[in-house]
Amino acid sequence: MHKPQAPAGARLSNRLTFLLAASCGLIVANLYYAQTLVGPISAAMGLSSAVAGFIVTLTQIGYVAGLIFIVPLSDVLENRRLTTASLAITSAALAAAAFSPNAAIFLGSSLFIGMGAVAAQILVPYAAYLATEEQRGRAVGNVMSGLLLGIMFARPAASLMTSLWGWQAVFAVSSVLIALLAVLLTRILPVRAPSPTVAYGKLILSLGTLLRRTPVLRRRAFYQACLFGAFSLFWTTVPLRLAEDFGMSQQRIAWFALVGVSGAIAAPIAGRLADKGWSRKMSGAAMAIASLSFLLIYLVRGQSATALVLLFISAITLDMAVSGNLVLGQRSIYALGSEARGRLNGLFISIFFIGGAVGSALGAWSYAYGGWAVTALVGVFMPLVALLAFFTEREA
């Protein structure tokens, strides 16, 4: 049945905001289920600890590929149909991962899980499109808080399900949920059909021009790449540290991961403060907090109760810094104009997810060859680089 075109700048209802937030959370969670399951998956697939980090890295690489080649299509194709097609890819890849007979098929499935999960980044600009200028920061913050809750709940949910039914159940259940979500969104989402003004090839080539001509995008993407790299490094390695140094089971690791969920409260707060003109101050604070989070757990190591408590604290503060800075960055680039919002968002997310892939790979390498001390130092360094670059910014 034909649905009317959604008008730009229409006030975003609470019901639709909740649906978009919940959808983004369910979709993007698929990028993170494997983070706390690196141990059991690598054991089942016969992967070494040095290679195990690629379980997460390949998913992120697939996500970057989708951001570059699929998300720009949201500027020329009907968004609801594009979202449904992406979710179909995700559901099929999740089913393949659940029943993978070997490492090669699982890793290949991980790539396509990431590629299909870009549906979330079609829905976030969609929310910005529907929102008025006055509510855009709040709307993006609310939808992003749902997305971030999905990221943070993914880890404890995956660990808990694995402790009960095995890691394969995580991917099988998610495959069914994503298929059901695709049906729901097809029935409820209003149509948003942009007017095609450029061919697909030129659309992709325009990404380079947009990146070159948009300094705000370059800076915001670089800041978030550094923070998200540290975030991915932490959550790729901390489950290994908790299991090896503190003897934690998958169920206890799930409870640890649940602590990070509280960091999602920073997203709507950051959006509201950005609407009041506090973007610059909040960005600098986020980078400093992320770096200090790692410095804390570098200075107090070992297997003491204090070291464990500081890991909990750092999980919260790091997640708050990353989620808050993400909303600030997205609000800045969404203010640049609606006609290229899908491409701008795709570039922004793809660049910082490259940082995430680098962080996961560095985490696996540093933990395998240098232990927790080297890993924590790398974590200190990544947000610090962003902060130093931030100090060169001359914007008011």
Residue 173 banded pLDDT, cuts 50, 70, 90: very high
CB 372 within 8 A of CB 237: yes
Listed in order, strand segments (DSSP E) in the chain are: none
What is the mean predicted confidence (pLDDT) over 4-15? 62
Q: For the chain, give every domain's residue range.
A: 14-390
> Is the model's pLDDT at 210 over the cut of 80?
yes
- Residue 324: CB partners within 8 Å, gap ≥ 6? 266, 267, 269, 270, 282, 286
Across 349-371, average pLDDT: 86
CA distance 265 to 160: 23
Q: Would you state the pLDDT for residue 396?
A: 39
State the average pLDDT over residues 238-254: 85
Spatial CA neighbour of 28 closest among 123, 95, 167 = 123
On the question of pLDDT at 157 being above 50, the answer is yes
Are 3 and 125 in contact by the 8 Å Cβ rule? The answer is no
Q: What is the pLDDT of residue 135?
A: 67
Mean of pLDDT values over 197-201 = 73
Which residues lie below 8 Å from residue 318, measured CB to CB, with a gap of 6+? 230, 231, 234, 260, 263, 289, 290, 293, 294
SS3 assignment, position 123: helix
Q: What is the pLDDT of residue 112?
A: 95
pLDDT in tens, 324-333: 888 888 778 8
User: pLDDT tens digit string along 59-83?
Assistant: 888 988 898 888 888 877 888 899 9
Q: What single DSSP character describes residue 13?
A: P
Q: Are 90 and 110 in contact (CB under 8 A)?
A: no
What is the reported pLDDT for 151?
77
Spacing of C-alpha 170 from chain mean position: 18
Q: Which of 225, 365, 383 is nearest to 291 (CA)?
A: 383
Write the DSSP string, 278-329.
-HHHHHHHHHHHHHHHHHHHHHS-TTSHHHHHHHHHHHHHHHHHHHHHHHHH
Non-local (6+) Cβ contacts of 222 within 8 A are 351, 386, 389
* pLDDT above 90: percentage of residues in the chain: 30
Task: Check whether 155 has a pLDDT greater than 60.
Answer: yes
User: How far apart (Å, rounded) are the C-alpha atoms in residues 356 and 359?
Assistant: 5
Which class in CATH covers the domain with range 14-390?
mainly alpha
Would you state the pLDDT for residue 42? 83
Q: According to the model, what pLDDT value does residue 53 have? A: 67
Residue showing tokens 């979330």:
120
Please list, in sequence order, all residues whose beta carbon lies within 8 angstroms of the beta carbon of residue 301, skipping any fewer than 6 positions away.
307, 372, 373, 376
0.95 exceeded by pTM:
no
Cα–Cα distance measured from residue 352 to residue 121, given in angstroms and rounded to the nearest whole number: 13
